[in-house]
A and B are shown apart, each in its own frame.
Chain A
Amino acid sequence: MDFLRPASWEEALAAKAEHPTAVPIAGGTDVMVEINFDHRRPEYLLDLNRVGDLEEWEVGEESVRLGASVPYTKIMENLRGELPGLALASHTVASPQIRNRGGVGGNLGTASPAGDAHPALLAAGAEVEAESVRGSRLIPIDEFYTGVKRNALAADELIRAVHIKKADGPQQYSKVGTRNAMVIAVCAFGLALHPETRTVRTGIGSAAPTPVRAKAAEEFLNAALEEGGFWDNGKIVTPSVAKQFADLCAAACNPIDDVRGTASYRRHAVGVMARRTLTWTWESYRGTARAAFEKGGAA
């Protein structure tokens, strides 16, 4: 095993080009477990800790450019306003110690369906900034996950940052685990209201081979909200709409039975979380937009 210690992003890209089998290590919270338990013996470890700008973020007009190694703790502390869904998801990651090390780049690189950030990224809308010595590209999050623990990165590419749309409405995130802290998701659900486009986006974790959106559920809800004038009148989403949304979210799952939970439970739980997060976000939307409704204007 060789330990590569690039001092800059350019050196890191060069090293990855020269050694495409090199395994990037930043927070180490996935890679080191595999090494400690003798599950993996990479030829090269590519340490990204010395590439300082991976731990930085920029808040732009439309989106936040989040460095791949920004630790979850920093996201929770600094980006709760811009990225509420991801901040909530970050708070559910493992333990304080892990949140101090791990970042979204690791979740994306590993591409485990159980990664906590995925549903929040899917719901908010995001692009992954991947780069190699050949150049840089933005991969839409919907195209990023290609299979169980597989992603759209080429062998010579590294994740530099994620561009996540700034919240234009309430976002929520829920995760089911069989313990009240430090637990891997049995399944997880992210929901974002986008009042500007009058759309709703979702993300489901750990209930299919890859993180997925519940597109049929989104389409149903978008239509139902539009039809009922909900975005303007700020009415409570009717229980039947919420229920059908929840059912469609559950139907978007393609889960397995494993040691963490049954397929049947995962489907069920995703439905419950979908209904609850819809209620929470919609109540929040009505709350913030109420003044506008009372004046008869749109939110």
Chain B
Amino acid sequence: MPTNGAPTKITQGSQTKGGIGESTLRPDGTLKVTGEFAYSSDMWHEDMLWGQILRSTVAHAEIVSIDTSEALALPGVYAVMTYDDLPTDVKNYGLEIQDTPVLAHGKVRHHGEPVAIVAADHPETARRAAAKIKVEYRELPVITDEASATAPDAILVHEGRDDLPQSQLRSTGGTPISGHVPHPNIVHRQPIIRGDVASAAERADFVVKGEYTFGMQDQAFLGPESGLAVPDEDGGVQLYVATQWLHSDLRQIAPVLGLPERKVRMTLSGVGGAFGGREDLSMQIHACLLALRTGKPVKIVYNRFESFFGHVHRHPAKLSYEHGATKDGKLTHVKCRIVLDGGAYASASPAVVGNAASLGVGPYVVDDVEVEALALYTNNPPCGAMRGFGAVQACFAYEAQMDKLAKEVGIDPVEFRQLNAMEQGTVMPTGQPVDSPAPVAELLRRVKAMPLPPERQWESSEGADVRQLPGGLSNTTHGEGVVRGVGYAVGIKNVGFSEGFDDYSTARVRMEVVGGEPVATVHTAMAEVGQGGVTVHAQIARTELGVTQVTIHPADTQVGSAGSTSASRQTYVTGGAVKNSCELVREKVLEIGRRKFGSYHPAWATAELLLEGGKVVTDGGEVLADLVDVLEGEAVEVEAEWRHRPTEAFDLRTGQGFGHVQYSFAAHRAVVEVDTELGLVKVIELACAQDVGKALNPLSVVGQIQGGTTQGLGVAVMEEIVVDPKTAKVRNPSFTDYLIPTILDTPTIPVDVLELADDHAPYGLRGVGEAPTLSSTPAVLAAIRNATGLELNRTPVRPEHLTGTA
């Protein structure tokens, strides 16, 4: 059994430079700093056309008529397509439930829904043509919240639901989702029942209740949705696109085009960030349709305005919690209800519900639990995957509750959390035991032990440096009204796809001699979205195959699926697949070696053999052969699938089940300064401690933690898509009014990385990307509460909430 910090399962190759555990540099770094890296919006083709999407101007309406004649008559326009022009009977797509129309049919269900598409010779021509399409709407009342969605006379957002989940996709134990929900405007509902809350509540000396609201956050990746579709001579199409999962796109695109999957050839282009926002399709099908219709390459690039309508957002949520504790500070029970607004289409809502429910109590030991999580269908913008995926909303609420309860009980909030912290062996509310390290108390201890930033850092000999004060360059305070606060939070996130999903990846690894050197080539369909998977794959290949030169093949659909770049899973799952394929390659290389050279040295038959530094060596360090000699005239190639241990679906009534493959944990301490009179916040420091199992690339790991932390900061103090409750229309679809943190809003982020190996995972690693996004937000909120004494039960917290002027 591994002990604290001990690496496991590094079977070989530790001598090879650039292997795992080193902070090697990105293979795409040079291209990215010279401007030569080809992002999806950079694609260009001789004779290409520009696609444009006409989107609904209202949230909920029947389409009375669409007249495209004027648009078609415009010079330079090559095609205008509506629902009626779709080539096959497959007219919908969707990640889990195929409820999203490629183009609106008879009805629009949210503001900005695609109604028609245009291809023209210049983007301005395409825009003018789209503007000439006449759409007549008959508006319907909008469904915007739980009350309007489940009212007895509520209009059904989707009539006649029969959404059997696709068997290859996320499982719900074979039960049709629509069969178990209490109302057709509820996408999915997952209770978790464990123990006996009623009797446990009687043991509670203190009970706190709270109602919390989590605003709609946008992924706001910097590279808007874009891509290029090029028709092929055989009637197929090539698609260059930025996505998180090529094969999932392919499965949804091909049937709509009426093409076999092999005729839709997808290549990953440069991806300008993702964070969940590219898990669903955006312009993929539209570009292909226009390319096939016109016989010309078609490029589509959303601008920022359209991007806000072009992808799903983080579910806004209403959360009600009741926590109880004994007077010695032990949690007795937790009851909660989490209502997520899924918007007009399902996207990943069912899985988000599963996460919110199963992780809704947080990283604590509680035996008696009642959780209900559900997602609604409304006419608000569709919501789906975003970094943290259901666990973020819950963490914001349960951490607020923990502070509230600590105060009631009269125990320091960090100590209170540590008293109730889960550890290895703790049984989750789902009945699943946590079977790898869960250093919740230790992470809190570490983050609390970091030195606090000095007070009044903004004070200098020349007066106040406004850049370091709340309000920043806007010169709102020179120290007046500024109060410091400190807050803590910790969170739990699952890693990988859960609930029985067949979560696998595929890697093709080739080893050969090129230019007198042994070279490994790694080919996967993993979407590199910035996280650094390509860096890590090369490190794994060096470690496993003992070579220096590793080529990362571009990701495409010519190799098996890698699964999604989401759920903090790629280093675990595709990293695992690369490791596995390397091991298989290594065995073949050694076979060749034995065949060629076995007679020269007995160790070929008797010793454990390793590949290191371009040579075959014994575990005693004796060199048996150069890889160049072994591989001379022979190339070894393996393509293999690799899957993590299976999970199972949660029971639809009790939520019991071995639902998650791995958990990850992070804790934050936030130090803020609040201008209490103006309600402006400056986060001074956001310290994080996280267990990563094994840091395959420490530089990348820290980068992930700092990036995730900052997204959590954003939704704490500024980020929110504002939807008008009367019209369900988005009020701020631009970077002028949807604000994300600038470098002046972002504090120093010291990071303490803990490496407690998970025995079940490759190299003992733990998925890194999402956990820091969870606890960052509640830590900032706790610090603001600490500074102001206000209750603050919604995020983002805005100046009006801090000044009583909301």
Q: Which of B481, B682, B737, B800 contacts A259 (CB 8 A)?
A: B737
Contact between chains at B473 and A38 (CB < 8 Å): no
Chain B interface main SS type: loop
B647 to chain A, nearest CB (A): 41
Which B residues are CB-close (under 8 A) to A269? 678, 799, 803
Report A258-285 CB contacts with B as 1/0, cut-off 8 Å.
0111101101110011001001100000
Closest A residue to B680 by CB, please name it: A176
Rounded to whole angstroms, the CA-CA distance of A287 and B737 in the bound complex is 40
A228 to chain B, nearest CB (A): 23
Closest B residue to A36 by CB, please name it: B303
Contact between chains at B805 and A268 (CB < 8 Å): yes
> Does residue A181 face the partner (Cβ distance < 8 Å to B)?
yes
Q: Which of A122-130, A133-141, A158-166, A182-190 contacts B (4 or more CB under 8 A)?
A: A182-190
Closest B residue to A173 by CB, please name it: B475
Which A residues are CB-close (under 8 A) to B303? 36-37
Which B residues are CB-close (under 8 A) to A262? 800, 805-806
Q: Told that A182-B742, A273-B678 touch, could you supply 16 new A-B pairs with CB distance under 8 A?
A: A38-B127, A174-B475, A175-B474, A179-B742, A180-B474, A181-B742, A181-B744, A259-B722, A259-B737, A260-B737, A262-B800, A262-B806, A265-B806, A276-B477, A279-B480, A280-B478
Closest A residue to B802 by CB, please name it: A265
B773 to chain A, nearest CB (A): 19
Report B179-218 CB contacts with A as 1/0, cut-off 8 Å.
0000000000000000000000000000000000000000
> Does residue A288 face the partner (Cβ distance < 8 Å to B)?
no
Contact between chains at A181 and B475 (CB < 8 Å): no
Rounded to whole angstroms, the CA-CA distance of A248 and B481 in the bound complex is 21
Interface set of B (CB-CB < 8 Å, partner A)? 127, 131, 303, 305, 467, 470-478, 480-481, 677-680, 682, 717-718, 722, 731-732, 734, 736-737, 739, 741-745, 798-800, 803, 805-806
Closest B residue to A33 by CB, please name it: B736
Contact between chains at B731 and A175 (CB < 8 Å): no
Which residues A195-233 have CB closer than 8 A to chain B? none
> Does residue A28 face the partner (Cβ distance < 8 Å to B)?
no
Contacts between chains A and B (CB distance < 8 A), count: 100
Rounded to whole angstroms, the CA-CA distance of A172 and B476 in the bound complex is 10
Rounded to whole angstroms, the CA-CA distance of A175 and B677 in the bound complex is 14
> Does residue A16 face the partner (Cβ distance < 8 Å to B)?
no
Which A residues are CB-close (under 8 A) to B799? 176, 178, 186, 261, 265, 269
Counting chain B CB atoms within 10 Å of each CB, which of A179, A262, A272 scores highest?
Answer: A179
Rounded to whole angstroms, the CA-CA distance of A260 and B732 in the bound complex is 9
Q: Which of A178, A272, A280 contacts B718 (CB 8 A)?
A: A178
Which B residues are CB-close (under 8 A) to A86? none
Contact between chains at A265 and B803 (CB < 8 Å): yes
Which B residues are CB-close (under 8 A) to A273? 476, 678
What are 14 A-B contacts defined by CB distance under 8 Å? A91-B475, A173-B475, A174-B476, A175-B475, A176-B476, A178-B717, A178-B799, A179-B718, A181-B472, A181-B742, A184-B737, A259-B737, A265-B805, A273-B678
Contact between chains at B739 and A179 (CB < 8 Å): yes
Contact A261/B471 with A269-B678, A280-B478 known, Cβ cut-off 8 Å: no
Q: Which of A37, A183, A184, A265 contacts B305 (CB 8 A)?
A: A37
Which A residues are CB-close (under 8 A) to B731? 259
Contact between chains at A183 and B678 (CB < 8 Å): no
Contact between chains at B471 and A268 (CB < 8 Å): no
Contact A265/B742 with A180-B472, A260-B737, A273-B476 known, Cβ cut-off 8 Å: no
Contact between chains at B736 and A184 (CB < 8 Å): yes
Which A residues are CB-close (under 8 A) to B732? 259
Closest A residue to B746 by CB, please name it: A180
> Does residue A88 face the partner (Cβ distance < 8 Å to B)?
yes
Contact A276/B476 with A264-B800, A265-B799, A269-B799 known, Cβ cut-off 8 Å: yes
Contact between chains at B475 and A178 (CB < 8 Å): no
Which B residues are CB-close (under 8 A) to A69? none
Which A residues are CB-close (under 8 A) to B470? 180
B790 to chain A, nearest CB (A): 15
Q: Which of B478, B677, B739, B805 contacts A183 (CB 8 A)?
A: B739
> Does residue A107 face the partner (Cβ distance < 8 Å to B)?
no
Counting chain A CB atoms within 10 Å of each CB, which of B127, B475, B679, B731 scores highest?
Answer: B475
Which B residues are CB-close (under 8 A) to A132? none
Which B residues are CB-close (under 8 A) to A172? 475
Which A residues are CB-close (under 8 A) to B467? 180
> Does residue A73 face the partner (Cβ distance < 8 Å to B)?
no
Which A residues are CB-close (under 8 A) to B474? 92, 174-177, 180, 183
Rounded to whole angstroms, the CA-CA distance of A259 and B477 in the bound complex is 24
Rounded to whole angstroms, the CA-CA distance of A228 and B477 in the bound complex is 27
Contact A272/B472 with A38-B127, A259-B731 known, Cβ cut-off 8 Å: no
Rounded to whole angstroms, the CA-CA distance of A163 and B303 in the bound complex is 39
Which B residues are CB-close (under 8 A) to A175? 474-476
Rounded to whole angstroms, the CA-CA distance of A279 and B467 in the bound complex is 20
Which B residues are CB-close (under 8 A) to A184? 736-737
Rounded to whole angstroms, the CA-CA distance of A228 and B805 in the bound complex is 34
Which B residues are CB-close (under 8 A) to A176? 471, 474, 476, 678, 680, 799
Closest B residue to A92 by CB, please name it: B474
Which A residues are CB-close (under 8 A) to B739? 178-179, 183
Rounded to whole angstroms, the CA-CA distance of A180 and B736 in the bound complex is 14
Closest B residue to A39 by CB, please name it: B305
B758 to chain A, nearest CB (A): 39
Closest B residue to A1 by CB, please name it: B124
Closest A residue to B714 by CB, please name it: A179
- Would you list the 3 A-B pairs with minimal beta carbon distance, nearest first? A180-B472, A265-B805, A181-B744
Closest B residue to A188 by CB, please name it: B474
Contact between chains at B805 and A88 (CB < 8 Å): no
Q: Which of A91, A181, A268 contacts B745 (CB 8 A)?
A: A181
B699 to chain A, nearest CB (A): 27
Which B residues are CB-close (under 8 A) to A268? 803, 805
Rounded to whole angstroms, the CA-CA distance of A24 and B127 in the bound complex is 23
Contact between chains at A180 and B800 (CB < 8 Å): no
B290 to chain A, nearest CB (A): 19
Which B residues are CB-close (under 8 A) to A179? 472, 718, 739, 741-742, 745
Closest B residue to A276 by CB, please name it: B480
